[in-house]
Chains A and B, each alone.
Chain A
Amino acid sequence: MNRIDQRFATLKAQGRTALIPYLTAGDPAPEYTVGFMHALVEAGADIIELGVPFSDPMADGPVIQKACERALKHGTRLTHLFAMVREFREQDTETPVVLMGYLNPIERMGYEAFADQAQAAGVDGVLTVDMPPEEADEFGPVLKARGLQSIFLVAPTTSDARAGTISAHGEGYLYYVSLKGVTGAATLNVDEIDAHLAPLRKLSDLPLCVGFGIRDGATAAAVGKVAEGVIVGSVLVGQIAACVDDPAAIAPRLKDILGEMRQALDA
């Protein structure tokens, strides 16, 4: 069984909510990323979304845009991400890792070459922000053949018909984008999220995880009541931005923030 499915099965048995942090790989520099991943797991991460830096992150707000710029200044590219995941797997063979990013770096590498290397490195899933299922005819099967799961987004604007298509193609979990906007945007409305998730549950057996707008223990716990998982990105990445000159301070801060969310979710 894929590590992602395994993890959700375990969480379900325990009656717990998945906590899914996102970090841009290579930020503030490539040598820190694996250490951050371990720190996140220690603080209670169930799955790690590892962002592939891209020059034109159209769906991201300023916080993750700047993270991409920092990572790209050091030349971080897919081959480095594979090396990071390989190194992470030397110590951690259980925590699922999802690569999240934009299609162009993958197109440039070639679908097969990408999938081969991702599988060999120990990646479990791939979320390509700008590739809806309609465009994934070719890529989806290439991933599937190597046991890599395709994770798709669902948005507040997604029609029921589209949600049906997406859940038919999706694996692992559905990533529900909590608001119309880019990453790092302001507030979320839990009642609205709940209202959107209800019809999705009828369409799909996949765990529903909610991202965009989760900032602290309170928002995580509120969303955790209506979803199988919460995804947190910009708040963590913002800590990296605040400590670029003192990288040693980053991991403890990441652990504090994620730890607070873990506690709030499990309370």
Chain B
Amino acid sequence: MTKFSDLTRMPDARGHFGPYGGRFVSETLSFALEELEETYMALRDDPDFQAEFDHDLAHYVGRPSPLYHAERWSRELGGAQIWLKREDLNHTGAHKVNNTIGQALLAKKSGKPRVIAETGAGQHGVATATVAARLGLECAIYMGAEDVERQKLNVYRMQLLGATVIPVESGSRTLKDAMNEALRDWVTNVDTTFYIIGTVAGPHPYPMLVRDFNAVAGREAREQSLKQIGRLPDALIACVGGGSNALGLFYPFVEDEGVAMYGVEAGGDGVETGRHAAPLTGNAPRGVLHGNRTYLMSDEGGQVSDTHSISAGLDYPGVGPEHALWKDVGRVSYVAANDKEVLEAFRELTHVEGIMPALESAHALAYAKVLAPTMRPDQHIVVNLSGRGDKDILTVAKLDGIEI
């Protein structure tokens, strides 16, 4: 049995989180990944690099983000106190920017004039286009054609920022296909292009560095809890697509055994229907996709399954390899929220607290609604409000039959 303290020493030198992770890529990319790993390992503990990162987070992103006590909602739910880690208040409106600021610094060091990214909800695409604009880098964003349709606002936002948005028509026309296409671009333009992966997936060293850049949210939340609550929270909740906002919140608490953690996957029509994007909750088999081994929704022949979720950002058949390990060792409980529950939570937080969450983040809120009433009012839950819901207004309006 892995001790929780062992979890802070992952990945190993070859990028493995126990049996997961690794670097399963075609040979052309091996060199670029070795180079990236070398660059990052050299900078990781470099005080100048950290200072530059912290400076950008403070003055460009607007960190620290508040830890907000949702008193009215907590009262209505009638159980534990709910605290929202307000990543929605970051510049560009989601946690994704923490990572793109960090990777932009690495891109700058690499001297490459072009960045690319995959995006689902468009938040990572926007965050990438934003740092590219700031650094004067050429930027191409791959986005599944279905997501281009359901996240139109973000598509235009990226274009305003100067990025080229490339709709991907292959496969299921969602996030996984965007990532395939970004990898194909990278393999072709590897000399001139830095690939900014948007979640804790992909080949080593991405799962590690995306986690590290997002962990600022967890470090802040830990400190803020001690200050504002007077102790550590009893539970943490975050939504899990690839899993970057969840790892960012959870990682600094991993050795705090009294802090329970819940990762909420996209239940779609319901995990029992098979139409979902919940590899961990749905007990998907192990598999290899996009450079790492993890739990992966696939059929008996090893073909990757189509996924279903109301939220483009969680509509992915795999999950970051570190989550796969954390599931196995039992550090995090993985659950799912289905589309209907998510919409209810979206509306409820908007009405009761005046905060409109992203549909992704509303998955975490939906589980808070389940968990809080089972706890006492003197107990505390921190929920990662990973992004704001402006981008989802058209989706919700459409469900309400309103044409905007």
Chains A and B form a bound pair = yes
Contact yes or no, A104 B287, CB < 8 A: yes
Interface size classification for chain B:
35 or more
> With an 8 A cutoff between CB atoms, is A91 at the interface?
no
Does chain A have a CB within 8 A of B155?
Answer: no
Check A180 against B26 for contact (C-beta < 8 Å): no
A182 to B189, CA, bound (A): 11
Q: How far is the CB of A164 from chain B (nearest CB, A)?
A: 13
Q: How far is the CA of A182 from the CA of B29 in the complex (A)?
A: 11
Known: A107-B302, A162-B30, A181-B188. A130 touches B176 (CB 8 A): no
Q: Is A222 an interface residue (CB 8 A)?
A: no
B288 to A134, Cβ gap below 8 A? no
- With A55-B304, A56-B176 as contacts: A182 and B288 at CB distance below 8 Å: no
Cβ-neighbour of A104 out of B176, B183, B296 (below 8 A): B296
- In the bound assembly, the distance between CA atoms of A103 and B191 in angstroms comes to 26
Q: Is the interface of A mostly helix, strand, loop or mixed?
A: loop
How would residues 295 to 309 of chain B score, 1 for a CB under 8 Å from any chain A CB and 0 otherwise? Answer: 010101111100000
Contact B301 A158, beta carbon cutoff 8 Å: no
Is A129 a contact partner of B304 (Cβ separation < 8 A)?
no
Q: How far is the CA of A158 from the CA of B30 in the complex (A)?
A: 7
B184 touches A58 (CB 8 A): yes
Q: Which of chain A's residues have a CB closer than 8 A to the CB of B187?
A: 59, 180-182
How big is the A interface, by class? 35 or more
Contact A177 B14 (CB under 8 A): no
Are A108 and B298 within 8 A (Cβ)? Answer: yes
- In the complex, which residues of chain A have a beta carbon less than 8 angstroms from the beta carbon of B298? 104, 108
Given A58-B180, A61-B184, A131-B24 contact (CB < 8 Å): yes
B32 CB within 8 Å of chain A: yes
Knowing A55-B304, A104-B296 touch, does A153 contact B32 (C-beta < 8 A)?
A: no
Complex CA gap A135/B15 in Å reads: 11
Q: Which chain B residues lie closer than 8 Å to A105 at the CB level?
A: 301-303
What is the distance, in angstroms, from A61's C-beta to the closest C-beta of chain B? 7
Least distance between A196 CB and chain B CB atoms (Å): 12
Contact A56 B31 (CB under 8 A): no
A57 / chain B contacts, CB cutoff of 8 Å: 180
For residue A106, CB closer than 8 A to chain B, the reply is yes
Of the residues A79, A103, A156, contact of B288 by C-beta under 8 Å: A103
Q: Contact mask A62-101 → B, CB, 8 Å, 1/0? A: 0001000000100101110000000000000000000000
B107 to chain A, nearest CB (A): 18
Contact pattern, B 3-39, Cβ under 8 Å of A = 1, otherwise 0 = 0000000000010000000111111111110100000
Collect the chain B residues with CB atoms within 8 Å of residue A152's CB: 27
Residue of B whose beta carbon sits closest to that of A181: B188
Look across to chain A and name the residue whose beta carbon is closest to the beta carbon of B14.
Answer: A134
Pairwise interchain contact B27-A185, C-beta atoms closer than 8 A: no
Judge whether A106 and B302 touch: CB under 8 Å: yes
Kindly list chain A residues whose C-beta atoms are within 8 Å of the C-beta of B23: 132, 134-135
List, sorted by A's number, 15 A–B pairs whose CB atoms are closer than 8 Å. Answer: A60-B184, A78-B301, A105-B302, A130-B288, A135-B23, A135-B24, A155-B26, A157-B30, A157-B32, A158-B31, A162-B31, A166-B27, A177-B26, A182-B184, A182-B187
Report which B residues bind A (CB closer than 8 A).
Answer: 14, 22-32, 34, 170-171, 176-177, 180, 183-184, 187-191, 285-291, 293, 296, 298, 300-304
Query: Given known contacts A166-B27, A181-B28, what 15 new A-B pairs fall within 8 Å (CB)?
Result: A55-B304, A59-B28, A78-B301, A104-B296, A104-B304, A105-B302, A108-B285, A109-B302, A134-B14, A134-B23, A153-B27, A154-B27, A155-B30, A155-B31, A158-B30
- Which 10 A-B pairs rank lowest in CB-CB distance, beginning with the nearest? A105-B302, A108-B302, A77-B301, A155-B28, A153-B27, A157-B31, A181-B188, A59-B26, A55-B303, A155-B27
